[in-house]
Structure 1
Amino acid sequence: MSNRFGHVGVLYGGQSAEREVSLMSGRGVHEALRRAGVDAHLFDTGTRTLTDLVNAGFDRVFIALHGRYGEDGTLQGMLELMKLPYTGSGPLASSLSMDKVMTKKVWLHEGLPTPDYVVLTDENGLDEAVDRLGLPLIMKPPHEGSTMGVTKVTERAQMKQAYRLAARFDAAVLAEQFIEGRELTVPLLGGPSGARGLPIVEIVAPGGNYDYEHKYLSDETQYICPAQLDAGLADRIRQLAERSYEVLGCEGWGRADFMLDARGRPWLLEMNTSPGMTSHSLVPMGAKAAGMSYEDLCLAILETASCKVAAPGVESMQGGAQS
């Protein structure tokens, strides 16, 4: 085994609604790192304790968790307290990006295009949301991923059911203007400044329904990478992705999701700070189009593991192998 990265933990599983996806991502990362000679070990944060993590003696960790308690800043804050280097964004950027409402507020403040929205805390505002956003619209929980709790609402009669589904996941619900068009995503590496957008992926799902099944289980969804776009438009979308990532303070890696409307205008939907690494996942797809294997991608991400809050030069309490 290589000593370059020391004793590495791959944090996966977790407690969120995206646990099953995380289990697939973590296994893929772990196998790739082991093939590359890294002393990597799986660690399920959903079944093991914090004491177990401290006692594991990891020099750095690769976060392959999705959703709450893994992608939302809570775990990142704990790792900062442990002074244990980790992959991806720090506590603040992770928290902002996981909250779709706060993400929109930052983007709008920075003049970046994102669909109009209404935040609902009860059923009293459903009609007002339709009046403002029009139909169809999208109803979703602001703190979930993998299309959990998401409904495309095409008529007023569906609003109450869509709200109740999303409210099963979150105290507040996000109603969002629906953008008709092409679904695109931009994988990102680096940051917090100088982020690099990888080749753009276009997602063509059956009936335009890119739900959980079509993301992770179905072979019917088509992925086009690089997306067939005019070179100037592709550059503009990548630059917009890089800017949207940087204003949130993201680093290490991530993925910006877009809709491209019929007039060729890109609209930012959300930022993922710990994207999927499964066989159907989009960051490995963009990396492959850029000439980077899955194994090389995992190593490149692991290379960036660091503490973001600790003062420069502060070593890990675990021994702190540095690259």
Structure 2
Amino acid sequence: MTKRVTVLMGGFSAEREVSLTSGRACADALREAGYEVKEVDVSRDMAALIAALDPKPDVIFNALHGRWGEDGCIQGLMDMLGLRYTHSGVLASALAMNKDRTKTLAAEAGITVPHGVVVPAQRLAGEDVLPRPYVAKPLDEGSSVGVQIVDVGDNGPALPADSADSDDLWLVEEYIPGRELTVSVMNGKAIAVTELRPKVGFYTYEAKYTEGKTEHIVPAQIPEKIYEEALNAAAKVHEILGCHGVSRSDFRYDDTKGAPGKLYFLEINTQPGMTALSLVPEQAAYKGMSFPELCAWIVESAVSESAMSKSEMTESGIAAPEFVEPAGESA
């Protein structure tokens, strides 16, 4: 019997447009893979959403990004409705969305992270809370929304004066020079390391989602020791947060004083983008998995918050895929 999959997309976060692009791409890929697919643009009307989920699908493919879509909120609703859904559950999603909590857990596991502090927007709008240069970013946004580097000699504070009326929290971190790296993980197994080289400035929202703005180098041309460290750290964070399915961890690699340099974990994304420019599909393709195969694997590995253990998933055939190393490639 053909499985019925409902793809949730859009939503009402700052990442709505990216989510719509991801959701449509995944829906098309799942149809190509043989699933019966329904697309739902999620609004704040939960009654309308619940009605759109009737008849009950076999699996919810969660292609929502940002607040309310990957922070445990929609996951909690799916749990209440008894629906099976992709990606991580309530707790892992909520922890991962809070960058500071994630960093704390990573540091406790022995993973190096940048020094940082969490402050209200009011304070950041009025003063420097760390010596410049530093990085300021919303505590619970994704896709590099709002991220900025405050450098020595820049005029004014990190945020405009009207932010003093905001109760939002921001994470302010020491600026780590060097290179931008990212690692995808599928059910505990790290896939590959990609280096991201923005052609202008740093890896902003625009650089992430505008074709031609950033060069992707996979596998990253970095020392083997650092490559393996990045793979292991990404898999470890995925594990300690209790993530399921796919995640993607971001790093800074400071080799400005020569090799081997130092690797810093920044954050984890429990629902990575699935657009034409997205990194998880790119790394999966590098390992020989097509986009429809990747989307199908995500559906088949879907679990609820009462998730199966790793051993149960392995026994059920939902273990991480065995990739074939591309010929002639090495870290």
Structures share fold, TM-score greater than 0.5: yes
1:247 paired with 2:240, answer yes
Corresponding residue for residue 233 of structure 1: 226
Which residue of the partner structure matches residue 288 of structure 1? 285
Paired position in structure 2 for 1:270: 267
Tell me the amino acid that sits aligned with residue 38 of structure 2: H
Counterpart amino acid of residue 267 in structure 2: E
Q: 1:50: which partner in 2? A: 49
Q: How far does the alpha carbon of each residue in 1:158-204 deviate from its partner, in whole angstroms, 9 at most, with x for none?
A: 453436688798611111111101100001101xxxx1111111100
Please, what TM-score do these two structures have when normalized by structure 1?
0.87
What is the CA distance between 1:147 and its match in structure 2? 1.4
* 1:153 equivalenced with 2:150 (yes/no): yes
Residues 40-189 of structure 1 aligned to structure 2 (within 5 Å): 40-46=37-43, 49-124=48-123, 127=127, 129-130=129-130, 134-155=131-152, 158=155, 160-162=157-159, 171-189=168-186
Closer, same or farther: CA 258–161 of 1 in aligned 2, 3 Å? closer
Letter in 1 for 2:219: P
| Counterpart pick for 1:307 among 297, 304, 308 | 304
Distance 1:104 1:57, change over 3 A: same
In 1, the alpha carbon distance for the partners of 2:43 and 2:262 equals 41
Cα distance, 1:86–1:128 mapped onto 2, change above 3 Å: same
Cα deviation digits, residues 265-291 of structure 1 (max 9, x gap): 111111000000001100001101111
Query: CA 1:168/1:273 → structure 2, altered by over 3 Å: closer, same or farther?
Result: farther
Work out the CA distance in 2 between the residues paired with 1:148 and 1:165.
18
- CA drift at 1:51: 2.6
Q: After TM superposition, give the deviation of residue 92 of structure 1 in Å.
A: 0.3
Specify which structure has the bigger relative contact order, considering alpha-carbon pairs within 8 angstroms and separated by 6 or more residues: 1
Cα RMSD (Å): 2.4
2:216 partner letter:
Y
Query: Which amino acid in the other structure matches residue 18 of structure 1?
Result: E
Please give the per-residue CA displacement for 1:62-91, whole angstroms capped at 9, x wherever unaligned: 111100111000111111111100011110
Between the aligned partners of 1:166 and 1:259, the Cα distance in structure 2 is: 28
Aligned residue number for residue 322 of structure 2: none
Taking the aligned partners of 1:309 and 1:166, their CA distance within structure 2 comes to 40
State whether residues 140 and 174 of structure 1, in contact with CA within 8 Å, keep that contact through their aligned partners in structure 2: yes
Q: Which residue of 2 aligns with 1:20?
A: 17
User: 1:170–1:244: structure 2 CA closer, same or farther, 3 Å change rule?
Assistant: farther
Q: Is the 8 A contact 1:141 1:169 kept in 2?
A: no
Sort the Cα spacing of 1:33 and 1:174 in 2 relative to 1 into closer, same or farther, 3 A: same
AA partner of residue 140 (structure 2): H
2:294 corresponds to which residue? 297
Indicate conservation of the 8 Å contact 1:149/1:166, yes or no.
Answer: no
Q: Residue 297 of structure 2 aligns to a residue in which SS?
A: helix
Residue in structure 2 matched with residue 33 of structure 1 by the alignment: 30
Cα distance in structure 2, aligned partners of 1:47 and 1:207: 37
1:123, 1:160 within 8 Å by CA — same for their partners in 2? no
Quickly say closer, same or farther: Cα 1:230–1:167, change in 2 above 3 A. farther
Q: Percent identity?
A: 39
Please report how far the alpha carbon of residue 12 of structure 1 lies from its aligned counterpart in structure 2 after TM superposition. 0.6
Give the counterpart letter for 1:101 in structure 2: D
CA contact (8 A) 1:139 1:151 kept: yes
In structure 2, distance between residues paired with 1:106 and 1:273:
15
> Counterpart of 1:247 in 2: which secondary structure?
helix
